[in-house]
Structure 1
Amino acid sequence: MSVPRRPYALLVALFLLVIGCSAGAAKTASPRVVAGPEASAAPSPSPVVLAPPRKIPGLGPLTRVQIPATARQAVVVTGQGPDLNRSSVVLYTRDDPALGWRPEAGPWTAHNGMKGWTDHHVASDLRSPVGVFGLTDAGGRLPDPGALLPYDEQSGFDVSGEGFLGEPLDGSFDYVVAINYNRTPGTSPLDRDRPLGEERGGGIWLHVDHGGPTQGCVSLPEDRMRDLLRTLDPAKYPVIVMGDAASLGR
């Protein structure tokens, strides 16, 4: 009597089906996730540390805050003392606000008011005003040397007589830059408008040094005045920061 073949064939088919499913499962299994010490994580990039913008040396927070954010040129006049008439001038430039200020020219020696400096300038006190002021207008008795600021050439800048030390004043106003203390910006340095009133003085300029102290202006050698006139750029909103060292350091 022969053994029926149908049950045997059914068993073989079931076996092959199981083997096939197992192989398919092996082929589609998810990759093994490695954690802990076996993981090879990529190193994180080091953070970029930017240096703070460079500050103008010698200026304290109360002075720095007066410099407009738009200013990219600053003429810094540092007096030797509150009652002294000698000072030092450095021109600073800020081309990139993220980098801050850098010295461009100087230091140059200069004179200021005969009796030094004051936080409250009044007419005839013989002191230079402390503060931060715009520089928008220039002029002089001599022809324009290549100034970038508007330049007013006229004979009204002629001056004569003697200074406090008996030095001749001739040529002192050959080149001038008006300091925007008690004046209307956008006018000739010779303009007599005094927004704060006549009692608060005016006519405070950068001008050619005559070898002695001034009435309240800041004076530089003639070649340095020419340098400034060719450098101060209205597109860079230049300012002057002026005062004795102690006042500027506040």
Structure 2
Amino acid sequence: MLPSSSEAADPYVSGLSYVKDSRQVVVVEGGTKTTKASVRLYEKTGSKWQLKRISPAVTGRSGLSFTKKEGDGATPTGLYSIGRMFGYAPKPDGVRTSYTVTNRFHYWVDDPASADYNKWMYDRGNPSFKWQSFERLNHELYKYAVVVRYNENPVVKGAGSAIFLHRWRTGSTPTAGCIALSESHLLVLMKWLDPAKTPKIVIGTPDSIRADLVKSARQ
């Protein structure tokens, strides 16, 4: 539900004015000691940013982290680009972003010792012969998923991998580090995202979100 015009000023609209290279921003507001979060969708029309939707969400079992490490169960904070989408289900009608239908040969490598760390790989062999740790992208929770382009360019070994927006098990079940929403809310988000508007995602506490939005003007 969106707030009415009579409610207090939005906490992020002023900070969004510093974002110059995107017209869509997903704001994930959470905490370091909670797994509960909200996902807010903002879009720039003309010169003004507007809140389009607020959805409940969950983060990693360790909450948010400003120093994300592989396997810590935390969701990384910061401002990132949004990448492609995937899922074992067919591409939903209305989705404009590149979408891959996954099968048992699609993996995301989370083995820090591998040259393939934090990369999407397709392999028809035995994955255990190549990587000590990996995720299968036809996982039950990845019926639909959106890639958060975290820890890229360069990839830092051990800084965390495979961060996605995906559907939740329940509204109170945390993830291993991703952001999860109900399937219905996730589909709304996926159909709303427009690659032509260079969508970004910012994850954090209220204070860190505002700081990252301001910092985007210097990047």
TM-score (norm 2): 0.70
Aligned-pair CA distance for 1:122: 1.2
Match in the other structure for 2:76? 129
Higher strand share: 2
Instruction: Name the structure 2 match of 1:152.
Output: 100
What is aligned with 2:58?
A: 111
Residue from 67, 83, 95 that aligns with 2:33: 83
CA distance in 2 between counterparts of 1:132 and 1:176 reads 18
1:176 equivalenced with 2:145 (yes/no): yes
- Deviation, 1:249, is 4.1
Aligned to 1:213: 174
Deviations 1:25-64 (A, max 9, x none): xxxxxxxxxxxxxxxxxxxxxxxxxxxxxxx933498x75
Letter of the 1:218 counterpart:
I
Q: Is residue 161 of structure 2 the alignment partner of residue 202 of structure 1?
A: yes
**Displacement of 1:201 after TM fit?**
1.1
Residue type at the aligned position of 1:57: D
Residue 111 of structure 1: how far off its partner (Å): 0.5
- CA deviations 1:166-203 (Å, max 9, x no partner) are xxxxx31000000010147xxxxxxxxxx322311110
- 1:134–1:227 distance in 2 versus 1, CA, 3 Å: same
C-alpha distance in structure 1 between counterparts of 2:49 and 2:59, whole Å: 24
What secondary structure is seen at the aligned counterpart in 1 of 2:141? coil
**Secondary structure class of the residue paired with 1:200:** coil
> Given the alignment of the two structures, is residue 234 of structure 1 paired with residue 195 of structure 2, yes or no?
yes
Contact 2:13 2:50 in 1 (8 A): no
- For 2:179, the aligned partner's letter is V
User: Which letter maps to 1:126?
Assistant: G
TM-score, reference length from structure 1: 0.62
Match of 1:165 in 2: none
1:120-172: CA deviation from partner (whole Å, max 9, x where unpaired): 2111111111111111311111000032110011124222xxxxxxxxxxx31
Which string of whole-angstrom CA distances, capped at 9 and with x for unpartnered residues, describes residues 72-101 of structure 1?
Answer: 11111111x32211101111100212xx21
Q: How does 1:3-82 map to 2 (within 5 A)?
A: 57-59=10-12, 64=16, 68-79=19-30, 81-82=31-32
Distance, in Å, in 1 between the alignment partners of 2:175 and 2:86 is 18
Aligned length: 168
CA RMSD of aligned residues (A): 2.1
Which structure shows the higher helix fraction?
1
CA contact (8 A) 1:58 1:248 kept: no
Change (3 A) 1:240 1:112: same
